[in-house]
Amino acid sequence: MLNISIVLYHPNWEEEVLPLVEELLRVKALRKIYLLDNSEDREVHPKSEIKHAKLRYMHMAENLGYGRAHNVALRESAYYKTDLHLVMNSDIRVKAEDIDAMHDWMMANPQVGQLMPKVVNTDGSQQFLAKRLPTPLDVFGRRFLPARWMERRNKRYELRDLDLTRPINAPYLSGCFMLLRTTAVVEAGLFDERYFMYPEDIDLTRTIHRNWLTLYYPEWTITHAHAQASYKNKHMLRIHIRNMCRYFNKWGWFFDRERHTFNSL
């Protein structure tokens, strides 16, 4: 069985959330969908009050941040011993049949702790969301240095030096779509709630990666309308920088032996 959690913040109900929920309710392996609303004011859309046993809307009353809100649902998955838990964004478009296929594949491959399919933009171009673990230069250089200076380094960081038509055991998979084995994520300690948002997916994937396969698996493709808020909003940029500093304070800025080992493999 499978639980799905989606964190919302002033969501676009009509064009984004409701069409996604309607599709997810078609997933055969589904146990429960959690809509975790971090909006300060309760902005639940009337149509979201679907009287469906598999849908649960939860207003958080404050903005808990990405990982902390998802942890509310992850703890329920752990409590009910749900096999898999899918963490995803509301701006994802995916077919119910593909989620069922991923679920069945994960159940047949117990050594895999996390899976992310191929992710594309709305125009069909690929997003490179499976990566090596970042160094400070990878994070801050790509944001503040000229693109031509970072081109070669970005290619390696985003695994574009590898064959992306084949599965890759990557130490960093994007938080936009994380199909997690519940036992693996509980073993890893769930999302680190010290991050408000941004590096919690790096942190969790690398921790799971220690004992499980964390796979980019291009057998399936999903669409992600990526907003890149920190590139357009100075407040979000400050949040991004602050939380990436917390990440490097935790794991090491320039001396991170595990990063070196994982990236070399």
Q: What is the pLDDT of residues 190-246, one digit of tens each?
A: 999 999 989 999 999 999 999 999 999 999 999 998 765 545 578 888 889 899 999
What's 161's DSSP letter?
T
What CATH code is carried by the domain that includes residue 257?
3.90.550.10
Query: What percentage of the chain reaches a pLDDT higher than 90?
Result: 75
- Non-local (6+) Cβ contacts of 77 within 8 A are 3, 85, 182
Q: Mean pLDDT, the chain, as a whole number? A: 91
Q: What is the pLDDT of residues 149-163, one digit of tens each?
A: 888 889 999 999 999
Q: Provide the residue range defining the domain that includes 28.
A: 2-264
State both tokens at 128.
Answer: 């490179």
Q: What are phi and psi of 2, to 5 degrees?
A: -140, 135
Q: What is the pLDDT of residues 109-166, one digit of tens each?
A: 999 999 999 999 999 999 999 999 999 998 888 887 788 888 888 999 999 999 999 9
- For residue 187, how many other CB atoms are within 10 A of its CB? 15
Domain tally, the chain: 1
The length of the chain in residues reads: 265
- For residue 188, how many other CB atoms are within 10 A of its CB? 22
| pLDDT beyond 60 at 50 | no
